[in-house]
Amino acid sequence: MHDIEPFSNWLKYYNSSEDNRSPFFEKEYNFDQYSDTIYGYYIDPAWDFMGSETLYIKILYTDYQAGVTIIEFLGEWNDAINNDVMHLKRNIIDELLAAGISKFILIGENIMNFHGSDDSYYEEWFDEVEDTDERELPGWIAAISFPDFIQEEFRKFHIDQYINMGGTLQIGNWRTMHPRTFVDVVETLISRRLT
């Protein structure tokens, strides 16, 4: 698990520790010492703690003018025991929503497992991104490259009502794109689904 690093090639375009509107503004990273663990396994120091002992994140890119952010995940998404979606929603998403973000791209290829519970936080999040100014298009939440078995669990708990996933959103080559290009690709795919 310690070999899995968050994608870092977009740091020249965006760094969450240098963004004064980011939940991780001014965070300092010690790359000489591994201290965070998931189930006893050390993880790369570049991952960010968001309140959950089993799920870590990295905000890879945020464009406030476009109202979009890209977040990569690592670990086990456990709503049943740790209420991970509550930590994500209250500690990260709420801050981003307050800063004008209404489009969320979630990269889940490093999510190892999912344990669901009720969907109230997902519903709240969905309602908030849909509730935009009448001059603007509604926001959305897109799950990119989540493993098939995780998507199946999301469907079992009806989370697919709130998060777009699967099909054309399994974008395996996202790392080869410029972040704006990646956002444009996802936005096009989402708008096709919504029309």
How high is the mean pLDDT of the chain?
93
Q: Are 46 and 92 in contact (CB under 8 A)?
A: no
Question: CA 53 to CA 16: how far, in whole Å?
Answer: 21
The domain locations on the chain are 49-194
pLDDT grade for 138, boundaries at 50, 70 and 90: confident
The contacts of residue 186 (CB under 8 Å, 6+ apart) are 105, 142, 144, 169, 171
pLDDT at 133 over 70: no
Q: Are 74 and 55 in contact (CB under 8 A)?
A: yes
pLDDT grade for 192, boundaries at 50, 70 and 90: confident
Lowest mean pLDDT among 6-10, 24-28, 31-35, 66-70: 31-35
The DSSP bridge partners found for residue 102 are none
pLDDT at 195 over 70: no
**72 burial level (CB within 10 Å; 0-12, 13-18, 19+):** buried
pLDDT at 106 over 90: yes
Q: Which fold has domain 49-194?
A: Transcription Regulator spoIIAA (3.30.750)
- Reading the block at residue 117, the tokens are 């519970």
Query: pLDDT > 70: what percent of the chain?
Result: 95
pTM across the whole model: 0.95
Query: pLDDT > 90: what percent of the chain?
Result: 86
